[in-house]
Structures are given as structure tokens and as C-alpha cells.
Amino acid sequence: MKELLKELENFGLPKDKFAIFGSGPMGIRGLRKVRDLDLVVMSEIWQELAKKYQVKKVKKGEKIFLSKNIEIRQRPNTKLNADKLIGQADIFDGIRYVKLKNVIEYKEKLKRVKDLKDIELIKKYLQKGGK
């Protein structure tokens, strides 16, 4: 995770304008290893990045790949929009991470085997008093 965060830092994104999503909030808590970073960004950052990087259409929306290890969405598949996810995010070492309850919501919609396993891990962590 440290190497991924170092790579992310090299892009110079304003720390109050993005949050790490997907498995990242699990990784920072030591729940599982993380192979890449998924970010959600505020609309003005999306606009800036869309001028510099290719925007790719994916099954549910659009993504920008900053590198093979870092991808960005502006509109995650959750009830909350990017601004709210970022505003309500947990902060570890100055970096915002989407709340685990929002990660559960996202992963429940995906319903992939790995997401169902992640949901189980998160729920156990939260039941033990983790935040």
C-alpha cells in the first residue's frame, strides 16, 4: 500500500478533493492487501484530469487511468455523490478514505465473488468495533 500511496502522491492531487475508494479503505486498516488504488474525485479535478488523460467508457460510467495502478471515477455507483463521499471520508495520514459503510454499499451492487468476500471482512471488522 505504501508504494501505491507514494505513486499517488507524485500526481499532486489536492488531498481535500479526492478519496480512496474500492479496496483502499480496507488496505489502510490492514484488512487485506491492495494491488491498485481506486479514487473518487470532485468534479473540478475530474475536468482537469480529463484534459490530460484519456477518459475511458466502462460498464458503469467513465474512468481515468492515471497509471496501471491508479484509476479514478467521478460518479461512483453509490447513493452518495463524489463530493459527499469525499466530505464524509475518514482521514489517515492526511489522505481521505471513503467510509467502510459506503464501500459495502458499492461492493453489494457489484456482487463479484471478491466483493462479497470483502463485504464479509468489513462487516466482521465493524462488529469488532473498528471504524
**Structural domain spans, the chain:** 2-99
Provide, rounded to the nearest whole percent, the portion of the chain with pLDDT above 70. 95
Opening angle at CA 94, ends 34 and 45, nearest 5: 80
Task: For residue 111, give the C-alpha cell.
Answer: 456482487
| Interval 61-96: pLDDT, tens | 789 999 999 999 877 666 668 888 999 999 999 999
Q: Is the pLDDT of residue 32 over 70?
A: yes
Confidence grade of residue 106 (pLDDT, cut at 50, 70, 90)? confident
Please give the mean pLDDT across all residues of the chain: 90
